[in-house]
Amino acid sequence: MITEPYFQKAIVQSNQRLGSSYTLLKLKVPKKIDGLPGQFAMLRGDWKYSPLWARAFSLLRAGTTPSFLIKLVGEGTHRLANLRAGDAISINAPLGRPFSIPARGRRALLIAGGVGAAPLFFLLNHLVAKHHTAPLVLYGGRSLEDLPLAEKFSPQVELMIMTEDGSAGRKGLVTSFLDGILKDSESSSLYACGPIPMLKEVSRLSRQAGTPCEVSFETTMACGMGLCLGCAVPSSRGGYLYLCEEGPVVNAESLDWNRIA
Amino acid sequence: MKPDRLTVHLGRLTLSNSVMTASGTAGYGDGLARYGDLASLGAFVTKGISLHPRQGNPPPRVVETPAGMLNAIGLANIGLDRFVSEKLPKLASMGVTVIANIFAESMEEFGLLAGRLSETPGISALEVNISCPNVSAGGMHFGQDPRCAALVTQTVRESAPHLPLIVKLSPEAPQIKEVAQAVEAAGADALCVMNTIRGLAIDIDTRRPRLANVFGGLSGPAIKPLALRFVHEVSRCVRIPVVGVGGISDWKDAAEFILAGASAVQVGTALLSNPLAPFQILEGLRDWVDRSHGPLSLLIGSMKP
């Protein structure tokens, strides 16, 4: 069940650097976050004006010690990565629409690109805990550096690692193996999160194979809670959908990929 | 309404306190209502409503800038009919004081909109947008010229004679004081000072503007000193009350606007990163007024020379 979001002050419990460009941020919140896989949080350190907005991150884990996988990209993520245990932070969560859980007997295929592994990792743990059919995970990135969660997957999961430079797993793109996998596996449901070119290809292949597909999409968000209408994404029905409330998880068919650069 | 130290009069409109939301920063209220009691605010100002629905501008629509942001939402809205049938009843059931922000592309449309809303129960006042920087027609150009601004004011006034009327001014008018006086003479109950001011941000890697609309309205703490100056200037050249807006993030900012001459304030960009901001600002203002041992009305425009 989707619960109402709550805005609260939290404390950083730990902030663990994973390689040079990722950090695993764990918080301690006064009020438990009943978040579902695919939902997100808006996080902001206790700073005055810079950066002004909170930043959106998929929940890696919910509860009273929610955690987040953060890729260091700009000023906001660097400042968050520099927070230390005990520092104050505000959190607005849970926000947005979660993944839909596959029907019993349907196998989940999870396609993760880089930092896009975060929401899928949460989904995966949920499926394993609820004894769903063992999911298959395709996890890819540019190099080993971009697979910070690779060691953390449950051993019960069938995991395929791929890197563009061949530094880990097979060499290639996650999508290059998907076509064959989709042909061999009936009654599966696809879940994907990663860079836009990857999501475009996943959605094309899923449509071709007639496999239902949900993607966790990303765009600039100012508020994350349906106030500003800043996060417009081209909709396949014409016009736009607002990713913070109608996403971040959307059916791949609901986006107009031709209008997405 | 039980009068207390925070009660404020904006012409014919009496509010329980001086804190409102700024148009376009909290939609139609349902999102923000999850975080606080909208009925506790002086008023809730809706996202700009037009006669017909509008999709808004293509993305990217927002970009963060130093101590501020640019937005070019393009007045995306669900249109008058859906606002009245779907959104207004929810606000009314919560006991919220609703100020409907309206904009149109022609005088005729302004008249039709105001007329329809004047027959709609649950609306406490109209705020007329003659100052949106992000649409080619029906936005800022109405607010640039005193005669044109007065004509819009008069049109809305005549179409909705019983509704208190606030007119939201543009900081880009060459002579904002003349626009303010013309709008006052045309029958506005209050002025809202100010809307965003156009800015630009460029991605140096692609050499493209960061917004699809190229320009966007600058808001947030970056514009606070400018907004304070306009509130100060405008409030001294008209007799009607001024609602101050521009970069208010905490009660101290709000207090500055009151001292500069604002009778009420609107909170916008701040609530995008802290949905509790308007409620916290209200509490802070209440404490400030209590410490000053007088009603808030005595603090309005009381900046010392």
Task: Check whether B134 has a pLDDT greater than 60.
Answer: no
Q: Is residue B209 part of a domain?
A: no
| Best to test chain A binding among B25, B49, B62 (most A CBs inside 10 Å) | B62
Per-residue pLDDT of B19-37, as tens digits, reads 999 999 999 999 999 999 9
Q: A50 and B66 in contact by Cβ < 8 A?
A: yes
User: How high is the mean pLDDT of chain B?
Assistant: 94
Task: Check whether B133 has a pLDDT greater than 70.
Answer: no
Q: How many CB pairs under 8 A join A and B?
A: 95
Residue A65 and residue A129 in one domain: no
**Residues on chain A touching B66 (C-beta within 8 angstroms):** 49-50
- Please list, residue by residue across A91-112, b when 16 or more beta carbons sit within 10 angstroms of its beta carbon and e when fewer do: bbbbbbbbbebbeeebbbbbbb
Q: Is residue B248 part of a domain?
A: yes
Residue A63 and residue A133 in one domain: no
The predicted structure's pLDDT at residue B18: 97
Q: Is residue B205 part of a domain?
A: no
Determine the residue of chain B that is closest to A74 in CA distance. Answer: B64
Residue A30 and residue A84 in one domain: yes
Q: Is residue B212 part of a domain?
A: no
Q: Is residue B210 part of a domain?
A: no
- Last-in-domain residue among A178, A199, A216: A216
**Residues on chain B touching A217 (C-beta within 8 angstroms):** none
Q: Is residue B280 part of a domain?
A: yes
**Residues on chain B touching A222 (C-beta within 8 angstroms):** 62, 64, 69, 71, 272
Residue A67 and residue A108 in one domain: no
Task: Check whether B190 has a pLDDT greater than 60.
Answer: yes
User: What CA–CA distance (Å, rounded) separates B123 from B119?
Assistant: 9
Q: B62 and A49 in contact by Cβ < 8 A?
A: no
Counted domains in chain A: 2
Give A72→chain B minimum CA distance, Å: 17
Task: Check whether B179 has a pLDDT greater than 70.
Answer: yes
Q: What is the mean pLDDT of residues B144-164?
A: 94
The predicted structure's pLDDT at residue B144: 85
Residue A190 and residue A114 in one domain: yes
3-state secondary structure chain B: CCCCCCCEEECCEEECCCEEECCCCCCCCCCHHHCCCHHHCCEEECCCECCCCECCCCCCCEEEECCEEEECCCCCECHHHHHHHHHHHHHHHCCCCEEEEECCCCHHHHHHHHHHHHCCCCCCEEEEECCCCCCCCCCCHHHHCHHHHHHHHHHHHHHCCCCCEEEECCCCCCCHHHHHHHHHHCCCCEEEECCCEEEECEECCCCEECCCCCEEEEECHHHHHHHHHHHHHHHCCCCCCEEEECCCCCHHHHHHHHHHCCCEEEECHHHHHCCCHHHHHHHHHHHHHHHCCCCHHHCCCCCCC
* Annotated active-site residue in B132, B148, B192, B237: B132
Q: In which domain, by residue range, is A131 found?
A: 99-216
Residue A88 and residue A173 in one domain: no
The predicted structure's pLDDT at residue A183: 79
- Last-in-domain residue among A95, A118, A142: A95
Q: In what order do the strands lie in the sheet with B215-219?
A: B62-65, B68-71, B215-219, B197-200
For residues A130 and A139, is the Cβ–Cβ distance under 8 A? Answer: no
Return the number of other C-beta atoms located less than 10 Å from residue A14's C-beta: 15
Q: Is residue A25 part of a domain?
A: yes
User: What CA–CA distance (Å, rounded) separates B167 from B193?
Assistant: 9
The predicted structure's pLDDT at residue B140: 60
Q: Is residue B206 part of a domain?
A: no
Residue A200, domain CATH? 3.40.50.80
Q: B69 and A53 in contact by Cβ < 8 A?
A: yes
Q: Is residue A162 part of a domain?
A: yes
Q: B27 and A5 in contact by Cβ < 8 A?
A: no
The predicted structure's pLDDT at residue B66: 97
For residues A180 and A209, is the Cβ–Cβ distance under 8 A? Answer: no
Residue A124 and residue A208 in one domain: yes
Q: A220 and B63 in contact by Cβ < 8 A?
A: yes
Determine the residue of chain B that is closest to A76 in CA distance. Answer: B64
Q: Is residue B62 part of a domain?
A: no
Q: In which domain, by residue range, is B294 found?
A: 8-56+75-196+220-298
The predicted structure's pLDDT at residue A246: 97
Return the number of other C-beta atoms located less than 10 Å from residue A88's C-beta: 12
Task: Check whether B132 has a pLDDT greater than 60.
Answer: no
Give A260→chain B minimum CA distance, Å: 10
**Residues on chain B touching A228 (C-beta within 8 angstroms):** 24-25, 62, 71, 73, 272
Q: B35 and A52 in contact by Cβ < 8 A?
A: no
Residue A200 and residue A109 in one domain: yes
Shortest CB distance from B35 goes to which of A7, A52, A222?
A: A7
Q: B275 and A225 in contact by Cβ < 8 A?
A: yes
Counted domains in chain B: 1
Residue B172, domain CATH? 3.20.20.70
Residue A19 and residue A127 in one domain: no
Residue A62 and residue A17 in one domain: yes
> Token pair for residue A196?
């836009």
Task: Check whether B3 has a pLDDT greater than 90.
Answer: no
Per-residue pLDDT of A141-181, as tens digits, reads 999 999 999 888 877 788 999 999 999 889 999 888 888 88
Residue A70, domain CATH? 2.40.30.10
* Chain B residues near any Cβ of chain A (below 8 Å): 24-27, 30-32, 34-35, 47, 55-64, 66-69, 71, 73, 76, 220-221, 249, 269, 271-276
The predicted structure's pLDDT at residue B90: 96
Determine the residue of chain A that is closest to B210 in CA distance. Answer: A220
Task: Check whether B135 has a pLDDT greater than 60.
Answer: no
Return the number of other C-beta atoms located less than 10 Å from residue A78's C-beta: 13
For residues A23 and A82, is the Cβ–Cβ distance under 8 A? Answer: no
Q: A222 and B62 in contact by Cβ < 8 A?
A: yes
* Ranges of residues in chain A whose predicted pLDDT is under 70: none
Per-residue pLDDT of B56-95, as tens digits, reads 999 999 999 999 999 999 999 999 999 999 999 999 999 9
Indicate the pLDDT class of residue B1, thresholds 50, 70 and 90: low
Task: Check whether B138 has a pLDDT greater than 70.
Answer: no
Determine the residue of chain B that is closest to A227 in CA distance. Answer: B26
- Last-in-domain residue among A95, A110, A135: A95
3-state secondary structure chain A: CCCCCEEEEEEEEEEEEECCCEEEEEEECCCCECCCCCCEEEEEECCCCCCCCCEEEECCECECCCEEEEECCCHHHHHHHCCCCCCEEEEEEEECECCCCCCCCCEEEEEEEHHHHHHHHHHHHHHHHCCCCCCEEEEEECCHHHCCCHHHCCCCCEEEEEECCCCCCEECCHHHHHHHHHHHCCCEEEEEECCHHHHHHHHHHHHHHCCCEEEECCCCCCCCCCCCCCCEEEECCCCEEEHHHHCEEEEHHHECHHHCC
Stronger pLDDT, A11 or B139, i.e. the higher one: A11
Return the number of other C-beta atoms located less than 10 Å from residue A166's C-beta: 12
Q: A240 and B35 in contact by Cβ < 8 A?
A: no
Name the residue type at position B204.
I
How buried is A258 (Cβ within 10 angstroms: 0-12 exposed, 13-18 middle, 19+ buried)?
exposed
Residue A104 and residue A200 in one domain: yes
For residues B265 and B20, is the Cβ–Cβ distance under 8 A? Answer: yes
pTM value is 0.95
Per-residue pLDDT of A15-45, as tens digits, reads 999 988 999 999 999 999 999 999 999 999 9
Q: Is residue A164 part of a domain?
A: yes
**Residues on chain B touching A240 (C-beta within 8 angstroms):** 55-56, 59, 76
Q: B272 and A222 in contact by Cβ < 8 A?
A: yes
Active site residue B132: yes
Percent of chain B with pLDDT over 70: 96
Shortest CB distance from B62 goes to which of A5, A228, A240?
A: A228
